[in-house]
Amino acid sequence: MIPFPLLFLLFLTIPLLEIYLLIKAGSVIGALPAVALVVFTAVLGAFLLRLQGLSTMNRMRANMMRGKVPAIEILEGAALLVAGGLLLTPGFFTDAIGFLLLIPPLRRYWLLKIIDRVTINSVPRQETRGPRTFEGESWRDDDDDPRLR
């Protein structure tokens, strides 16, 4: 879980960074080309996102047809959703992160790193040697209750 101060810092610094990069790009290539570049990256990102989403959905469907749980594909779908949000946000920094999330090997690597970091074993495993034996009583429903004998 991301702590609130870090989230606040991200919501404060990312827009400031985007404004700074837009001003710098506008001063180098001009204001209109900078805005056109931001719009172009959003359109290109939406197109690539659609292709990646369809590919992920097809892999998910194929895994379900084979009886496998499409866990990594579900996480990739969530990552693609984040990528789409970043690509539609105007700015160069968010576009760069969004485009990095569209690279399948890089996206899968990041997801596996996140899974390794947040996986929690809720039940501690006890090492046992040999078979486990459970004691108890049993009876059939059509017999008389053995406790009454």
- Each residue's pLDDT tens digit, 8-22: 888 899 999 999 999
Residue with tokens 């990069």: 21
Residue 141 has pLDDT above 90, yes or no: no
| Local confidence band at 133 (pLDDT 50, 70, 90 cut-offs) | confident
Residue 110 has pLDDT above 80, yes or no: yes
Domain-by-domain residue ranges, the chain? Answer: 40-117
| Local confidence band at 116 (pLDDT 50, 70, 90 cut-offs) | confident
pLDDT of residue 1: 57
Three-state DSSP string of the chain: CCCHHHHHHHHHHHHHHHHHHHHHHHHHHCHHHHHHHHHHHHHHHHHHHHHHHHHHHHHHHHHHHCCCCCHHHHHHHHHHHHHHHHHHCCCHHHHHHHHHHCCHHHHHHHHHHHHHHHCCCCCCCCCCCCCCCCCCCCCCCCCCCHHHC
Instruction: Give the max Cα distance, the chain.
Output: 96
The pLDDT of 31-53, averaged and rounded, is 93
Share of the chain above pLDDT 70, in %: 83
CA-nearest of 46, 24, 27 to 92 is 24
The pLDDT of 109-135, averaged and rounded, is 73
Distance CA 89, CA 82 (A): 11
CB count, 10 Å around CB of 82?
13
pLDDT of residue 123: 57
pLDDT of residue 5: 86
Task: With 0.75 as the threshold, say if the pTM is over it.
Answer: no
